[in-house]
Structure 1
Amino acid sequence: MAPIQYQYSKLESPNHIRLIYLSSGDPHEPLYCTIQHANLKDAPQYHALSYVWGDSRKPKRLQIGGNHYLDITLSLFHALRDVRATRAERMCYAVWADGVCINQADLDERAQQVSMMSSIYRQSTHIITYIGPEADNSKLGLDFAHELCSWEHRRRDSITLDPRLQMSPKWTELGLPAPENPKWEALQSVLKRPWPGRAWIVQESLLGIDPPIMVCGRSSVHWMVLCQTVALARMGRLPAALSPRGGEDLAARCLVNLGGLRQGIWSEKRELAIPLLTLLEICHDHQCSDPRDKIFSLLGVASDRDALGIEVNYRTTISDLYTETATRIVEQYQSLDILSAIGSEKNFDLPSWVPDWTKKPRAESFVKPTLPTPRGLNVINSVNNVYKYQTGGNGKTSIKINRVLKTLTVDKAVIFDEITYISQKLDVVPMLEGRGMSEWLRMNLKHCVRLGSYPAPETLEDAFWMTLIAGKTHESTEAESQFRREFKAFFDAASDGFTGVRKWVPSDYLGTSLTEGFGTASAAYSRHQLVGNFGIALLGGADQRAFCTSAGGSMGLAPAQTMEGDVICVIPGARVPYVLREDGGNYKLVGECYVHGIMKGEALDLPRFESDLREVSLT
């Protein structure tokens, strides 16, 4: 008799789940299982599976019971095949996997089960992160990642970065394999796998008090090993080529995010410690097929889930969900930090003050959250030393949202200045490959000379370079006058088209491999370090933004889409100023900005500030 497609039966209660009981089998044998219902309150031991959903256009068959089947994605087929017991083990594992255990065609069940996923993963015996089948020498790559982390751990007492790490011909001097050793290529192949970029991987990886088990094919490794490997490469403690930048950096960025979140998600009291907005900002890179899951996938690990009261509902529109989420976050905290997540492009029809979580802003946020450093590393700069803006000082303003008109209104704000000059967008990475950087710097510095003097105490030149890096060094500490030498080295190098120094800007930011072109003289090394330090600082400041000046003579960094005539708004209590555009008596938010000389609350001390306070509404 021909197999019959499996038909889901209704779950008995909101506490019930389905479990897959996998029959043992060898890799070449078909997948057999049974599906049973269980009450989560007294469910048997089971493994919760985390995997890449994959392409559903070429399904594989899962055989259920005697004569039924389900079509599942190839990636889920590989996962179930590799986690089942072998025939020699003769065991039957219970597994929870959303692609089978949730009736995806039933929107109501899907919403109800998704709202339970935090409990499903937390109550599992083990969480298994499946990163794909064995391929491209993956077992060698995983073993090498563990080897590299152990090698670095033995050298951890030193806080000095050895430049030979970024010179592949010198690797053997450090006890590392030669660059042609297949271990390097095998590890890079593992690090390029797409699993870290899933939105759901965040919840699935963080919910257990203990880290998940990472499985690749039939091999396993400690979950933090790959996260540590990429983090160490980005810190310069392992070859930077392991953490690619540019078109291939998504998986690497997401791995770093997951590692930091894993260490910061639980408080000392074993309670969830990170609010939804912070999670949304950190996880902006993580992708999902249904845009609603950008929010739903994080609710289970958000410390403020109950306070915000956001319900999983796949019948709501994406625009309504994003707007209501932003509304509840603003109302709960009476904070405008969410406005810093606004990008220049949106996929959906949203008010200007509501972020589109499917489109990450190209520029790095001025109020981005910080993640913990991998445990045990000696780090010169700590989170406590990070320069944090406080443009609105300790002032307070009332924030109200009209759900009908979809407007955000602050009762106290000052239209501080009008933008009268806006440059072309600065795109650091391609400009480092030619002379475009020098032309951009010279054109804008020449414009600044016309200002005559600067309202802040610095000279015009100092105000200019401090503006370019948004007042922060490469270590995110407050820039002081001594950092001028980094600017001068960078300016001179730009004038030379970065000849002889291009390879010295860390590959973490260039997307090039630091494997050659290194000088040996200490003076040259010092120059390269200075250029690299300013380049890194520039990426956190002017990169993907435009340089601007105002009618009052201030310099700043504004969103690339800013236009002459837009205004700078300072709001008591807000950490940064905002660029606004008039819209029929109200304003549209263009985005956050940096204005040199007012980022510590100086604008609040101006004689006109109190008299200029007014109500401002964003549409």
Structure 2
Amino acid sequence: MSTTTPDRSYEALSYEWGQPPNGDFQIHLNNGHSVDITENLAAALRDLRHQDPSLAPRPLWADGICINQKDMEERQDQVAMMSDIYRQATRVITYMGTESDNSTGAIAAMELYCEWWNNNGASSRVEMGSFTHEETIAIQKLLSRGWKLLLMCGRRTLAHWSLLSDFVVHIFDGDLKEGGFLLLPQSSHGTDTRAECIYQLALLRHKVQGRTISEECKLSWLLCDFQVFAATQISDKVYSLMSVATDVNIPIDYARSARSVYLDAAKKILANADDFTILHHSFPSQGQYLPSWVPDWSKWHYGTEFVVRCGHLCPSGSTRPSVRVGELENKIDLKGLLVGTVTFLGTPINDHYQRSSNAGERAQWVQQELESIKAHLNGTDPSLLMAECLVGADVFLDVRQRSTIGEGFVAHMKQPEAIIDDVERSLVNSFVTAVRRRSRYSRLAVISGDYVANVPRGTMKGDWVGMMNGGKHLYVLRKTSTEGEFTYVGISYVSGLMQGEILASDSPSEGRWLTLV
């Protein structure tokens, strides 16, 4: 059956590949041949099989069967058509695995709670006693599964795809009181890691659905938002988006290395971009031997959605991006200005703002950082400047909260035994959450010119903070041994320089070419 045949309908199956086929699972074809398939696909086909043999056959499209994985040319053609294949399907089924660890019980418990909340709202709150120990363990296991847009678990079809993300939002909002966080699976990144991943996926789906047909779907946006997803072949982190992206085309060629594909994508994006969004997602310790300015899309850094958010920041004023893509593949020229060098570096911030962090130790750390920064500012009180840099000022806090940054900063420095009222507690929670998100990979610093800054954790003394024309952030750059060339370190927030102040005395057209390698 062809997916382009007008009178034939089919369902498209999306599932986690898991381990490669090893010969243990096969599907037998009518022509006498058989095809090796993965264990996960075998489970999906069993659960999707009609229970009533008298029903008509159920046409399914599954990449593990419908694409010859050994034929490179066919793979390239099919990947280019992937968007049409899923769009033309009567239904897309995302399969997350067999029923296990009481996943059916977990789904039932969450559905019951969400129904209760919809009927009762915030009139009362659910205690942890509402969930049995068995249900708590089952929910933890279910939230730990690898998933995309959840529709089926075993033979259980979820009535509402947003069930898991809605339930996680209730936990974050405190609707289940403090004990609600015990329902979340543990992670090396922190208690709420997987939960935020699920929540961000829900936001992503709303964003995609809300896009009108006439709107451009930029590759830079797609790569950043889909970076959280895994791919068996890392070149597919770019190739899989080619049928959706409207501004950049990367020819699908599996003979190319991932490095070549990523470099090609980055150059084309920057050459056509009206901002430098992809730079925000370029982190240290990248693989693929990539230049410092090319993101390694095969890796995802938890929390980057919040770290790179720029809100109303505009340090480059009204300037427009100026980019030169040269012949040398590892270099790119951007027009901008060097602002100043790093003269002081604090210790990593996020270590003191984990959910498990001790409030007393955090208050002591803040005081030590304050004293160190003050010593590098010729005695100026840096409290408000430090508070602003910790949370990124107007990026996370609404207008009402913005006016109380100082109050939240002071309140969160109080010792654990100090008595605080509900208003102060709300300020502390908002401030600490904002710091945890904005400063997950950074530290405080002082920049020449008496500026307090938030810089990447990998920053070194002597590094430069620069402004790129058209950039929504400031950027930390490290000089190389070659004059005029820099390696890219990451984004920076500098108090007093995030609204175009750098250009107050300079013409917006002025600047110099900075070469990133």
Question: Secondary structure of 1:319's partner?
Answer: helix
Rounded Cα–Cα distance in structure 2 between residues aligned with 1:119 and 1:190 = 31
The answer to whether 1:555 aligns with 2:452 is yes
TM-score by length of 2: 0.89
The answer to whether 1:350 aligns with 2:293 is no
Give the structure 2 partner of residue 535 of structure 1.
Answer: 432
Rounded Cα–Cα distance in structure 1 between residues aligned with 2:348 and 2:82 = 43
Give the structure 2 partner of residue 487 of structure 1.
Answer: 409
Letter in 2 for 1:120: I
1:192 to 134, 137, 144: 144
Query: Residue 311 of structure 1: CA displacement?
Result: 2.5
Rounded Cα–Cα distance in structure 1 between residues aligned with 2:404 and 2:359 = 27
Question: Secondary structure of 1:540's partner?
Answer: helix
Rounded Cα–Cα distance in structure 2 between residues aligned with 1:466 and 1:255 = 29
2:195 to 235, 239, 252: 252
The answer to which of 536-545 and 111-120 deviates more is 536-545
Letter in 1 for 2:128: S
1:604 to 493, 503, 508: 503
Q: Is the 8 A contact 2:193 2:302 kept in 1?
A: no
Q: Is the 8 A contact 1:490 1:531 kept in 2?
A: yes
Change (3 A) 1:446 1:274: same
Give the structure 2 partner of residue 215 of structure 1.
Answer: 152
State the Cα RMSD in Å. Answer: 2.9
Rounded Cα–Cα distance in structure 2 between residues aligned with 1:266 and 1:614 = 41
2:470 to 573, 586, 591: 573
Letter in 1 for 2:20: S
Rounded Cα–Cα distance in structure 1 between residues aligned with 2:446 and 2:75 = 51
1:232 to 166, 170, 182: 170
The answer to whether 1:461 aligns with 2:383 is yes
Q: Is the 8 A contact 1:334 1:398 kept in 2?
A: no
Deviations 1:381-436 (A, max 9, x none): xxxxx94211111112421111424322123x211111111122222317714755
Deviations 1:283-314 (A, max 9, x none): 22221221112222333443x2xx21122221
Identity %: 27
Rounded Cα–Cα distance in structure 2 between residues aligned with 1:268 and 1:612 = 37
Letter in 2 for 1:539: R
Letter in 2 for 1:265: V
The answer to whether 1:61 aligns with 2:2 is no
Question: Secondary structure of 1:42's partner?
Answer: coil
Question: Secondary structure of 2:56's partner?
Answer: coil
Give the structure 1 partner of residue 378 of structure 2.
Answer: 452
Question: Secondary structure of 2:413's partner?
Answer: helix
Letter in 1 for 2:292: S
Give the structure 2 partner of residue 382 of structure 1.
Answer: none
Rounded Cα–Cα distance in structure 2 between residues aligned with 1:225 and 1:142 = 8
Rounded Cα–Cα distance in structure 1 between residues aligned with 2:193 and 2:414 = 32
The answer to whether 1:393 aligns with 2:317 is yes
1:180 to 122, 126, 132: 132
Question: Secondary structure of 1:129's partner?
Answer: strand
The answer to whether 1:470 aligns with 2:392 is yes
The answer to which of 238-247 and 78-87 deviates more is 238-247
Give the structure 2 partner of residue 84 of structure 1.
Answer: 49
Aligned 1:110-509 pairs, distance under 5 A? 110-156=75-121, 164-165=125-126, 168=128, 178-180=130-132, 182-196=134-148, 214-221=151-158, 222-237=160-175, 239-244=180-185, 246-247=187-188, 251-267=194-210, 269-270=212-213, 274-302=217-245, 304=246, 307-361=247-301, 364=304, 368=308, 387-411=311-335, 413-426=336-349, 427=351, 428-429=353-354, 432-433=357-358, 436-450=361-375, 451-452=377-378, 459-472=381-394, 475=397, 480-493=402-415, 498=416
Rounded Cα–Cα distance in structure 1 between residues aligned with 2:468 and 2:278 = 14
Deviations 1:24-64 (A, max 9, x none): xxxxxxxxxxxxx4251436111100111111265312222
- Gaps in structure 1 of 5+ consecutive residues: 1-36, 170-177, 197-204, 206-212, 370-385, 501-520
Change (3 A) 1:481 1:229: closer
Letter in 2 for 1:335: D
Deviations 1:538-583 (A, max 9, x none): 1133332111101211000111111111111112321111111112
The answer to which of 576-585 and 55-64 deviates more is 55-64
Question: Secondary structure of 1:581's partner?
Answer: strand
Question: Secondary structure of 1:334's partner?
Answer: coil
The answer to whether 1:38 aligns with 2:2 is yes
Query: Residue 474 of structure 1: CA displacement?
Result: 5.5
Rounded Cα–Cα distance in structure 2 between residues aligned with 1:582 and 1:268 = 41
Change (3 A) 1:403 1:360: farther
Deviations 1:581-600 (A, max 9, x none): 11211111111101001111
Give the structure 2 partner of residue 546 of structure 1.
Answer: 443
